[in-house]
Amino acid sequence: MKYILLMYHTEGVFSEEELPKERDNSVATCHNLHARGQYVNASPLQPVATAHSVRVRDGQAAVTDGPFAETKEQLGGYVLIDVDHLDEAIAVAEQFPAARRGTVEIRPLFER
């Protein structure tokens, strides 16, 4: 089953010194997942200042700058994995830095 791991944390939660190490940790985790045949895709996201939100109400589209919701934590990236069950997805999520300083949301994908 495919799961998407959504990495949420406050921007700037990792210091300039910590950030390269934490990115290396995330990349190493992805390499380990790949070696086990569980890795599908992953990517960090640009800062929320680059985000745009689209809402259509009564047939009219409105585009606004910024993230989709008012929160302290922003979506910082994702990892798409293919594992046998939720327990495995949870074990993978625990390995990422966002789990220690923010939240990793796990969602199953609809299979086609």
How large is the average pLDDT for residues 62-85? 82
User: Quick one: pLDDT band at residue 49, thresholds 50, 70, 90?
Assistant: confident
pLDDT of residue 62: 84
Q: In 3D, which of 64, 69, 5 has the Cα closest to residue 40?
A: 5
**What would the mean pLDDT of 34-41 be, rounded to a whole number?**
97
What is the pLDDT, as a whole number, of residue 111? 82
Residue 67 pLDDT level (bands cut at 50, 70, 90): low
Set out the domains of the chain in order of their start, with CATH numbers: 2-108 (3.30.70.1060)
3-state secondary structure of 89: helix
Please provide the average confidence, as pLDDT, over all residues in the chain: 89
Using an 8 Å Cβ cutoff, are 12 and 72 in contact? no
Position 11 confidence tier, pLDDT thresholds 50, 70, 90: confident
Predicted pLDDT of residue 90: 96
pLDDT over threshold 60, residue 8: yes
Mean pLDDT on 31-59: 90
Indicate the helix (H) or strand (E) that contains 9: strand 2-9
At residue 48, the pLDDT reads 80
CA pair distance 103, 112, nearest whole angstrom = 28
